[in-house]
Structure 1
Amino acid sequence: MIGILVDHKFLLGYYIEKQSRLLALEYGADLVYTEEIVDQKILSSKRIVNDILHTIDYVIEDDVVLRIATERERERCVLQVGTNSAERIAEVAAKVCNDVAAIDVNMGCPKPFSIMGGMGAALLTQPDKVKDVYICAANFLQILTSLVSVSSVPVSCKIRVLDKQEDTLALVKLIEKCGVTAIGVHGRRRDERQGDANRVEEIREVARALSIPVIANGGSGTIKEFKDIEQFRTESGASSVMLARRALSNPSIFRPEGLLTMQEEITSFLRLACEFDENFTMMKYVVQRILGNQQIKLLSDFHALSSVQSPRTEFHGMGVRRKGNQPEKGSAAIVALNARYCDMLMLTLDAPAGSPNGWLKEFDARGRATVVAASVLDICDAWSMRNVYENFKSNRQRGHKRKVVPDAETGIHFIDLTFPPKRLRDKCGATTPKCVLNSFCDECGIKRPVYCCKFRPVDKRFEALVEVDGRKFLSRIGQPNKKMAEQVDILLSETVKQV
């Protein structure tokens, strides 16, 4: 197992959902990393063997914290952990070591949630803390190895370069002495972002100074095709290369044979997303990232608008969001639009192709359908994948063979169902599920349903218990508010009607 992080590997970095990890492995990536998961979240989760999807799931209530495809990625998936506690990271190692290929401690994330929690790049200013974290984890892994007579899970970490190169070299030498198998180095500093230059020469100096493998990161901006990955590895002097941003936009970047078309990448992703029952929000996010500016295409005369000095708006091809008076640092690729045209832009997005709002036009009808999609089925329809969706859904339902029987202790019928909140918002002024159930009760001469909402502190979501004619029903899938929790429980009304 130690060799898993050594020379000449191409790695997929910090991916949120499993489908993109599996897709990268299919295309040729050697290893894939999970997104950064906070140690406490893993420790609070429950490990479940999902026989329907053939995965190992770590769940909190109905939220899947981590899902590992046992047969396809277990031996090539690296768990990336955010931590500031030697004790907790050791507990994480004990909990997940049999389900992942390696564990990576993230010491380079510059995002506020990591910094404020004393994790990620915040650890770079605490050398003593760094050493303490790894020693405790290493000791625990040694104990684990001796007890179960298996190889220990390799441990790596990922950092950003410090403000002074000599400080970076001192830090990585300290980390090397801790005994890590490999170290990932992102060539930007804590306060820098993707628009800033990646310090390839500083990564090269780190590689020269260490005897352990160095994984170069931060080169997505210069990598356009497969051969560029090897060029970046050579220039940085590193053993391996980790890609994230480029692979999110072009998953097939790992194919030695060359990039696939946008349609091939999206349909391949949707196939995996349907197979592993991915949620709507994540599915739409990934498809839109692959689509990029293919969702809509600006006409050439929009450039005149960007010269007006006024409050700014960022356009990414995935939506519009207001900015302050100055563009964000490193945003050279972002189109700056005059604020007074924002309303026109939003109207155009909703208008049919060829509308009078003529400085925008549709580039791909499937992109437009993806933007307005309100469900997984809508996205699949946009890409002619309905049959794939229906087939996988049918297979899962056959595997569940769900029988609605009351819990022996509480008498509650648990039926875990939900629907997107957007569907409820779109029904403004129309008959809601709650109204349908009330009408049904009135027609049958039974008492209208009684609801009891409960707030779950663990994930800050709501669930509602509905009682109809002496029978209690509950969906354990948490909702963002009480209204949604009650409306979701009305999905059980069909069961009630069969009483």
Structure 2
Amino acid sequence: MATLDFSKPLYALAPLAGFTDLPFRSVVKKFGVDLTVSEMISSNALAFQSKRTIKMLEKNPLEDPYSIQLAGSDQSVMQKAVEYINTLDGVSVIDLNCGCPAPKIVNNLQGSSLLTDLPKMAETIRTIKKYSNKEYTSVKIRLGFDEKNHIEIAKICEDNGADFIAVHGRTKAGRYKAAVDYDAIAEIKKAVSIPVIANGDIDSAAKAKWVLEHTGADGIMVGRAAVGKPWIFHQMKEGTEEVSSELIKEVVLEHFDQMLAHYGKYGAIIFRKHLHTYSKAGYEGASAFRNLVNGIEDPSEMRDIVAEFFSQSFIG
């Protein structure tokens, strides 16, 4: 398995529920992303070996290194989940989610609600570190719950065994709308000795460059900005914003084929949301196209229409 290289900026794909599944990660990986992360996995569902949850752990052979992100705070359940992951080959990292702001997660002392109980967060990190046979333990954090206490949170991660952290530069209260506090990420970087990955509203090559310089972070993590633009990692690494119509068409069709391979015919229906983002800007007739695909269920019919639509020139 590949070792994470923090001697140069590391580019990671953030976990996004409903989007960063195996087909999407497979496409993104071809554009040079250094680390991919599973969708957030319920430790409880994994401990009881839910078939749906186990399928979510599947990875592409190209995903190396690969991280599995767990949500939970019950130590016996977390231990069982980690021990299941220990049986899987090709996993380099087990990541603890301490950032998700969704109410159904927060209400069960998972995700960002762990930031309200730092002793429990520390205990959970130690549990993962103790029972994992994987090379790295990491933590995805926010700057705090209602108020910022980011230095304290980051130091607890470091002191309890995290090998690196990914920092979303908002509090839980800020959800995804508040301005990202890149100064706070820079403060975390200065306060800890483990690698720090910056996350939050990094949506272009120019922004990635600025964030790396401003925060001093060891890498960046991109989530929503990669949906509809999986080539963004190549743009960031090469410092270019250009992308050809031919490449976009190739990527969209490959992603579509991967969805069918992974989900069967239902993959075409799931793929509608991706077509909405792929066509969001830069194509004539995009609104009519989205309305059209919303009513198509037959995979071959959808693929033909997709191929035709994305054959037109991308106008940006």
CA shift for structure 1 position 113:
1.3
CA shift for structure 1 position 76:
2.2
* 3-state SS of 2:40 partner: strand
CA shift for structure 1 position 67:
4.4
What is the match of residue 443 of structure 1? none
Out of 44, 62, 65, the residue aligned to residue 72 of structure 1 is: 62
What is the match of residue 107 of structure 2? 116
What is the match of residue 21 of structure 1? 25
Distance 1:260 1:231, change over 3 A: farther
What is the match of residue 289 of structure 1? 277
Higher strand share: 1
What is the match of residue 180 of structure 1? 162
Kindly indicate whether residue 65 of structure 2 is the aligned counterpart of residue 81 of structure 1.
no
What is the match of residue 235 of structure 1? 214
Distance 1:132 1:70 in 2: 32
CA deviation profile, 1:171-220 (whole Å, cap 9, x unmatched): 21111011111011111111113332100000000001010000100023
* Residue pair 1:108, 1:160 contacting (<8 A) in 2 also: yes
* 3-state SS of 1:95 partner: helix
Q: Structure 1 length as normaliser, TM-score? A: 0.54
Distance 2:249 2:289 in 1: 10
CA shift for structure 1 position 131:
1.2
Mapping for residues 240-389 of structure 1, pairs under 5 Å: 240-255=219-234, 256=238, 258-261=242-245, 262-277=248-263, 279-293=267-281, 362-363=285-286, 366-384=289-307
Looking at CA atoms only, which structure, 1 or 2, has the larger radius of gyration? 1
Distance 2:94 2:78 in 1: 10
Distance 1:260 1:364 in 2: 21
Distance 1:170 1:274, change over 3 A: same
Out of 183, 194, 207, the residue aligned to residue 212 of structure 1 is: 194
CA deviation profile, 1:143-190 (whole Å, cap 9, x unmatched): xx5xxxxxx33110111112554x221121111011111011111111
CA shift for structure 1 position 135:
1.4
* Residue pair 2:142, 2:171 contacting (<8 A) in 1 also: yes
Unaligned ranges ≥5, structure 2 = 309-316
* 3-state SS of 2:297 partner: coil
Unaligned ranges ≥5, structure 1 = 47-58, 146-151, 298-361, 386-499
CA shift for structure 1 position 2:
9.0
Mapping for residues 3-152 of structure 1, pairs under 5 Å: 3-4=3-4, 6-7=6-7, 8-15=9-16, 16-45=20-49, 59-60=51-52, 65-73=55-63, 75-97=64-86, 98-99=88-89, 100-141=91-132, 145=133, 152=134
Report the AA paired with residue 67 of structure 2: V
Report the AA paired with residue 222 of structure 2: L
Distance 1:227 1:277, change over 3 A: same
Identity %: 21
Name which structure has the greater RCO, CA cutoff 8 Å, separation 6+.
Answer: 2
Distance 1:293 1:380, change over 3 A: same
* 3-state SS of 1:68 partner: coil
* 3-state SS of 1:124 partner: helix
Distance 2:102 2:142 in 1: 12
CA deviation profile, 1:383-424 (whole Å, cap 9, x unmatched): 239xxxxxxxxxxxxxxxxxxxxxxxxxxxxxxxxxxxxxxx
